[in-house]
Structure 1
Amino acid sequence: MDDDEAVRLATASLVRSLGRPTRMFASAEEFLASGHVAETSCLISDVMMPGMSGVAMHERVIALGYAPPTIFITAFPGPDLKAQALANGALAVLEKPVDAGAIAHWLSVALDQA
């Protein structure tokens, strides 16, 4: 999810091109209210969004008892943010603009584990 529609559409298009189904959400709140949290097999989220941040949303998902592999993307990759996200179980924190190969790699790590 990303509050920037162009980034959201580009990321979803990339994920679909890799043969993966996708759902898009404009905000953390929209995702949490969607009814799709339990069935999420991998979460790709921007960190900085209006309202709830991606990291706060990830913490809420964990508190609800779910732990989907999570990939964060951000334009502001500070060491504290990265440490917090990884400590909460995120797979990766990628800097915008995100390389398609990095997304493909981390999706494979998240979804192709035996």
Structure 2
Amino acid sequence: MKILHTSDWHIGKTLYGRKRYDEFEAFFSWLVETIEQEQVDVLLIAGDIFDTSTPGNRSQQLYYRFLHRVAASTCRHVVIIAGNHDSPSFLSAPRELLRALDVHVTGSLSGNPA
């Protein structure tokens, strides 16, 4: 089983006032190509998917389009864990829908982990 780990995307972050959507798009294209070439089974995204807890529409569009592309690839599962920049409730809101694509979201711990 091949697992690819990535984190700290900070989708939506600007640099010196410049929007970076083209850079995010290029990164996601590269990542999907890498998943295919390396025949990755599981993609683990460990936090800070977005740069703010209330990402803009363009950031969300990039994120969901990427997840759709991964679901159509050789990758069988995607596991997403919220980071300190992410809103746990925002990431968890489409949990049931994303599960249909084998995307598993953990926005926050629920219950007693012990």
Higher helix share: 1
Larger Rg: 2
Higher strand share: 2
Which of the five TM-score ranges fits, normalised by the shorter chain?
A: 0.3 to 0.5
Query: TM-score normalised to the size of structure 1?
Result: 0.44
Higher relative contact order (CA 8 A, sep 6+): 2
